[in-house]
Amino acid sequence: MSLELVCPAGNLPALKAAVDNGADCVYFGFRNNTNARAFSGLNFDAETAKQGISYATERGRKVLLALNTFPQTAEWHTWRQAIDDAAELGVSALILADVSLMRYASRTYPNLRLHLSVQGSATNYEAINFYHEHFGIQRAVLPRVLSLAQVENVVKNTPVEIELFGFGGLCVMVEGRCILSSYATGESPNTAGVCSPAKAVRWQQTSAGLESRLNGILLDRYSSDENAGYPTLCKGRFEVEDETYYALEEPTSLNTLELIPEMLRMGISAIKIEGRQRSPVYVEQVTRVWRAAIDAAKKDAAHYVATPDWMAQLGKVSEGQQHTLGAYYRPWK
Contact 21, 288 (CB under 8 A): yes
* Single pTM value for the model: 0.90
Rounded distance between C-alpha atoms, residue 205 and residue 38, angstroms? 27
Amino acid at 113: R
Q: What is the pLDDT of residue 176?
A: 67
> Closest by alpha carbon to 95, among 200, 165, 197, 196?
165
User: pLDDT by residue (tens digit) across 45-103?
Assistant: 999 999 999 999 999 999 999 999 999 889 999 999 999 999 999 999 999 999 999 99
User: Looking at the predicted structure, is the pLDDT value of residue 320 above 70?
Assistant: no
Rounded distance between C-alpha atoms, residue 205 and residue 308, angstroms? 38
User: Looking at the predicted structure, is the pLDDT value of residue 330 above 70?
Assistant: no
The most confident of 33-47, 124-138, 232-246, by mean pLDDT: 124-138
Phi, psi for 329 (deg, rounded to 5)? -120, 40
Domain range list for the chain: 4-170+252-329, 191-246
> Residue 210's beta-bridge partner residues?
205, 222
Amino acid at 92: S
> Residue 94, class by beta-carbon neighbours within 10 Å (0-12 exposed, 13-18 middle, 19+ buried)?
buried
Q: What is the pLDDT of residue 133?
A: 98
Question: What mean pLDDT do residues 287-306 have?
Answer: 97
Size of the chain, expressed as the number of residues it contains:
333
Residue 206 has a CB neighbour count (10 Å cut-off) of 8
| Answer CATH for 4-170+252-329 from 3.90.1150.10, 3.20.20.380, 3.40.605.10, 3.30.1490.190 | 3.20.20.380
Residue 151 pLDDT grade (very low, low, confident, very high; cuts 50, 70, 90): very high
Rg of the Cα atoms in the chain: 20
Amino acid at 118: V
The mean pLDDT of the chain is 90
**Torsional sign, CA 220, 40, 320, 168:** positive
Q: What is the pLDDT of residue 322?
A: 66
